[in-house]
Amino acid sequence: MSAAVARLAAPFRAVHWYLKELMGENAYQHYLASYERRHGTREGAMAERAFWRDVTDAQDRNPQTRCC
Amino acid sequence: MSVEFIKTDEDLPPVAVVERPKWTPAKIVLWVAIAIIAAIGWIMVAFVRGEDLSASWFVAAAVGSYLIAFRFYARFVEAKVCRPDPRRATPAELKDNGRDFTPTDRRVLFGHHFAAISGAGPLVGPVLAAQMGYLPGTLWIIFGVIFAGAVQDFMVLYFSMRRNGRSLGQMARDELGKVGGIIASIGILLIMVILIAVLGIVIINALAESPWGVFSIAMTIPIAVLMGVYMRYIRPGKVVETSVIGVFLLVVAIIAGGWVHENPFWSEVFHLEKTTLAWCLMIYGFFAAVLPVWILLAPRDYLSTFMKIGTILLLAVGIVIVNPTVQMPAVTEFASNTDGPAFAGALFPFLFITIACGALSGFHALISSGTTPKLIEKESQARLIGYGGMLMESFVAIMALVAAVCLDKGLYFAMNAAEPLTGGTAQGAADFINNQLGMTGVQTSPEFLENQAVLVGEESIVSRTGGAPTLAMGMAQILGNVFGGQAMMSFWYHFAVMFEALFILTTIDAGTRVARFMLGDAIGNFVPRFRDPSWNVGAWITTAVMVGAWGSILLMGVTDPLGGINTLFPLFGISNQLLAAIALAVVFALVCKMGLAKWAWIPGIPLAWDLAVTMTASWQKIFSSDPKLGYWAQHFAYRDALAAGETSLGTTEGAAAMQAVVRNTFIQGTLSIVFAVIVLMVVVMALWAAYKSITAKGPLPTTEEPFQPSRMFAPKGLIMTSAEKQVKEQWDALEPAAVQRTGQA
């Protein structure tokens, strides 16, 4: 039963995952993973709230073009 | 099939899988079937006449051609020039900082890249080009993207990726020298100004005298601010949740726009003139560029991405389900003369300029260098993201073309003929179309045009030029057919206007901000303090200069006695294509420098074609003696008439209006000359660089970053192969410490 439910839910989960990735919702998780790759630990990484502030503040300094 | 596992470190699993698949009978059958579908699509679109042509043939011709191009031509370009090295680490891996440099899943990056390159351009150009019939536009969109646009995006992405994601301007400086770099940078800045101004005109033409539209677009500002505050203080990082709330509010705003439209008081409040809207846009642009991005820009960008993907999917589903019948002939009279009302000029070169985005767009080179190359996991993925992403945009352009050519012809021309021709009334438009249009088989009546306006909840749809309203009308008819029928048409019309406006506003505010930084950098050469982006005075000055630059062209366009968009849109297309010429010239020089002059025709042919188009167009705009076409011919015609004491010429009434034409044509003519000269200088320098590298004895110093071995794995294509799955499992089984990489701390 639960296997069947999981199979049914799989495409919806995939769409949700893609949407979250595309919109950048998982940016913090990616940042943590990257931090761990570089430092071997997650200690010292920015906390979630500080990270999101930093993301938009960094955009202030490095604007990105959107095409026509 | 031969499978090779590439290792860079004996202690680690392979970093890549190189597979050379053999042709199996099943595969041959598959590709033959795709080729047959594409061929039947093309035969129906190009040759079969006299029957009802349905939209699905366009989809067949386009998708079939894209698949073949992606599988064969893109691989050819990859094999001959780009030669991705599976051992080599990309900038995302080497400079990983968890932020702008970070390895990003190829499927996600494909979406990011597509969302960044596609905007209002591929939607608007094909709609205007529909006045020449459906065939010329279809041919150029599909073949243009295969041999020019996608090649440019792919190669720029590749070269930038080998140079740590350096921008086009920086690559131009590296390859063409300091002077070439400065000229290219000035060109890029000027071209951005024109792009912003013309997109502004497009959106103002859709909103002027439309209380419904103005209200719902105005509401996007408080909605964005609300989203910004929500994400900053209440639920940081909840991007999808915030976007869903935003989209919900947006739909409410569209519905509320209907009430505004019906209420006499509020409808008067939001009934704005074009000049008022232009000033609003400039004020908005200024604040969007100086305020912190979290307040306005970032949430609007989320909203726009969300709407972009949703609406494009919706339109694709609508076209497939409704499968509308094409109304426009394959080729109209306007393909061979210069009398078309939507834009002036003959098929060559002006069709290729009007449809810029969707076939070949220089602006993409700014995304393909700088942003995307810093995120790519493996060099071998550049084909999917660069070439594939552009094919997607081309498909959007095909859908826009289909939406336009399936509209009633009378309706199409009533919407796209400028006000001086129609007088702005349904009666005037019907008279113009029935008697003066100059195309056979187009009839309409004032009652029909008035009825169409009522259906979409507008006071009038006559002379709603610029492409956006026409596309909105086409989308409303298609989507209304699937969801809600006629009763919902006004909702879908304003939904379409809203999403085009969202794209354009995102381009305007982000573009102004980027331009402000570019200007600050340039002035920083003389007054170093301007380089500091946190210096508010400097930010305000540079922003005011940039807004003033595009704002003056915007005001000129919306007050133009001759209609504005039909004279300015070519300048938009020319500047976009000239940017493509700069990008292709830099790529051409780089290919020669790599010692691959034999393959330089791959960027060389699109470069030559693009130069032929843009230079002919510039030549005609500057030197043509036909006042409808040449800016200077028009300039002198009006000046002479004024000097002779006349107070009207053609459809222009009054000395003040005539002086406006004299002024506008002077600016347009001067810009045409400046653009053409800048690009010619860059191209000559690129050719000189190419010549030097061909005749040089021994290899020239490379500007590529040195090779560093990759220590990560990523699949090559969209779908993982079974060998890649095995390797991925090996990596997943490793301890995190074993995969620690060298990134930036």
What does the pLDDT look like over B129-140, one tens digit per residue? 999 999 999 999
Inter-chain residue contact B239 with A59, CB threshold 8 Å: no
pLDDT beyond 70 at B321? yes
ipTM of the prediction: 0.93
Please give the pLDDT value at position B572: 87
B255-280: b or e for each residue (b if 16 or more CB lie within 10 Å)?
ebbbebbeeeebbeebbbebeebbeb
Chain B residue whose CA is closest to A61:
B533
Chain A residues whose beta carbon lies within 8 Å of the beta carbon of residue B533: 60-61
Whether B294 has its CB under 8 Å from any CB of chain A: the answer is yes
Q: What is the mean pLDDT of residues B406-418?
A: 96
Please give the pLDDT value at position B737: 66
Name beta bridge partners: B653.
B648
Tokens representing B46 are 């190009």
The helix/strand count (H/E) of chain A reads as: 3, 0
Inter-chain residue contact B121 with A68, CB threshold 8 Å: yes
Token look-up 């900053």 returns: B232
Answer whether B502's CB lies under 8 Å from B242's CB: no
pLDDT beyond 50 at B286? yes
How much is the mean pLDDT over chain B? 92
Tokens representing B117 are 């390159």
Tokens representing B651 are 């459809």
Chain B residues whose beta carbon lies within 8 Å of the beta carbon of residue A66: 116, 119, 301, 304, 506-507, 510-511
Classify residue A66: in a domain, yes or no.
no
Cβ contacts below 8 Å, chain A against chain B, sum to 143
Classify residue A67: in a domain, yes or no.
no
**From CA B123, how far away is CA B400, in angstroms rounded?**
5
pLDDT beyond 90 at B188? no
SS (H, E, C) B510-523: HHHHHHHHHHHHHH
Inter-chain residue contact A34 with B102, CB threshold 8 Å: yes
- Percentage with pLDDT > 70 across chain B: 99
Question: Kind of pairing, strands B652-653 and B648-649?
Answer: antiparallel
B220 contacts: CB under 8 Å, gap ≥ 6: B250, B253, B300, B303, B498, B501, B502, B505
**Shortest Cα–Cα distance, A10 to chain B (Å):** 17
Classify residue A12: in a domain, yes or no.
yes
pLDDT beyond 70 at B743? no
Q: What is the mean pLDDT of residues B102-118?
A: 94
Residues 529-588 of B with CB under 8 A from A: 533-534, 576
Structure confidence by residue, pLDDT tens digits, B413-431: 999 999 889 999 999 999 9
Classify residue A14: in a domain, yes or no.
yes
Q: Which residue has the higher pLDDT, B279 or B21?
A: B279
Whether A46 has its CB under 8 Å from any CB of chain B: the answer is no
Name beta bridge partners: B376.
B104
Chain A residue whose CA is closest to B235:
A49
Answer whether B101's CB lies under 8 Å from B742's CB: no
Residue B396 DSSP SS3: helix
Inter-chain residue contact B533 with A61, CB threshold 8 Å: yes
Tokens representing B269 are 């409040």
Measured CA distances, B321 to B61, B224, B397, B475, B677 (Å) = 17, 33, 18, 13, 48
**From CA B394, how far away is CA B65, in angstroms rounded?**
11
Please give the pLDDT value at position B570: 84
| Domain encompassing residue A57 | 2-61
**Shortest Cα–Cα distance, A54 to chain B (Å):** 10
Whether B308 has its CB under 8 Å from any CB of chain A: the answer is no
Classify residue A17: in a domain, yes or no.
yes
Closest CA to B398 of B142, B146, B113, B38: B142
Chain A residues whose beta carbon lies within 8 Å of the beta carbon of residue B354: none
Structure confidence by residue, pLDDT tens digits, B499-516: 899 889 988 988 999 899
Whether A42 has its CB under 8 Å from any CB of chain B: the answer is no
Structure confidence by residue, pLDDT tens digits, B13-36: 999 999 988 899 999 999 999 999
pLDDT beyond 50 at B605? yes
- Domains in chain A: how many in total? 1
**Shortest Cα–Cα distance, B513 to chain A (Å):** 6
Answer whether B210's CB lies under 8 Å from B458's CB: yes
Please give the pLDDT value at position B252: 96
**Shortest Cα–Cα distance, A44 to chain B (Å):** 11
Chain A residue whose CA is closest to B371:
A64
Q: Please tell me whether the overall predicted TM-score, pTM, comes out greater than 0.90 for this model.
A: yes
Whether A68 has its CB under 8 Å from any CB of chain B: the answer is yes
Most confident of A25-29, B154-158, B563-567, B669-673: B154-158
Of B293, B739, B743, the CB nearest to A56: B293
Whether B208 has its CB under 8 Å from any CB of chain A: the answer is no
Of A16, A38, A60, the CB nearest to B293: A60
Inter-chain residue contact A66 with B121, CB threshold 8 Å: no
Q: What is the mean pLDDT of residues B367-388?
A: 95
Of B120, B243, B743, the CB nearest to A23: B243
For chain B, the first-to-last Cα distance in angstroms comes to 42
- pLDDT classification of B739: cutoffs 50, 70, 90: low
Chain A residues whose beta carbon lies within 8 Å of the beta carbon of residue B743: 34, 37-38
Structure confidence by residue, pLDDT tens digits, B190-236: 888 998 999 999 999 999 989 999 999 999 999 999 999 999 999 99
Domain residue limits, chain B? 200-328+418-546
Inter-chain residue contact B576 with A68, CB threshold 8 Å: yes
Of B116, B533, B534, the CB nearest to A66: B116
Residues in chain B: 745
- pLDDT classification of B740: cutoffs 50, 70, 90: low
Inter-chain residue contact A63 with B514, CB threshold 8 Å: yes
Structure confidence by residue, pLDDT tens digits, A8-23: 999 999 999 999 999 8
- pLDDT classification of A56: cutoffs 50, 70, 90: confident
pLDDT beyond 50 at B744? no
Inter-chain residue contact A37 with B736, CB threshold 8 Å: yes
Interface test with A, best of B105, B108, B569 (most A CBs within 10 A): B108
Chain B residue whose CA is closest to A30:
B98
Please give the pLDDT value at position B410: 96
Q: What is the mean pLDDT of residues B541-545?
A: 95
Inter-chain residue contact A67 with B116, CB threshold 8 Å: yes
Please give the pLDDT value at position B93: 94
pLDDT beyond 60 at B745? no
Please give the pLDDT value at position A3: 87
**Shortest Cα–Cα distance, B544 to chain A (Å):** 17
pLDDT beyond 90 at B395? yes
Structure confidence by residue, pLDDT tens digits, B645-690: 998 888 888 899 999 999 999 999 999 999 999 999 999 999 999 9
**From CA B301, how far away is CA A66, in angstroms rounded?**
9
Which bin fits B297, alpha (ψ -120 to 50), beta or left (φ > 0)? alpha
Inter-chain residue contact B232 with A51, CB threshold 8 Å: no
Residue B230 φ/ψ, nearest 5 degrees: -60, -45
Of A28, A38, A68, the CB nearest to B357: A68
Render B251-280 in DSSP notation, one character per residue: HHHHHHHHHHHH-HHHHHHT---HHHHHHH
**Shortest Cα–Cα distance, A51 to chain B (Å):** 9
Around B317, how many Cα atoms within 13 Å sit in the side-chain half-sphere?
10
Classify residue A68: in a domain, yes or no.
no
Question: Kind of pairing, strands B16-20 and B2-6?
Answer: antiparallel
Structure confidence by residue, pLDDT tens digits, A31-42: 999 998 888 889
Of B118, B576, B739, the CB nearest to A37: B739
**From CA B452, how far away is CA B475, in angstroms rounded?**
14
Classify residue A15: in a domain, yes or no.
yes
Please give the pLDDT value at position A1: 59
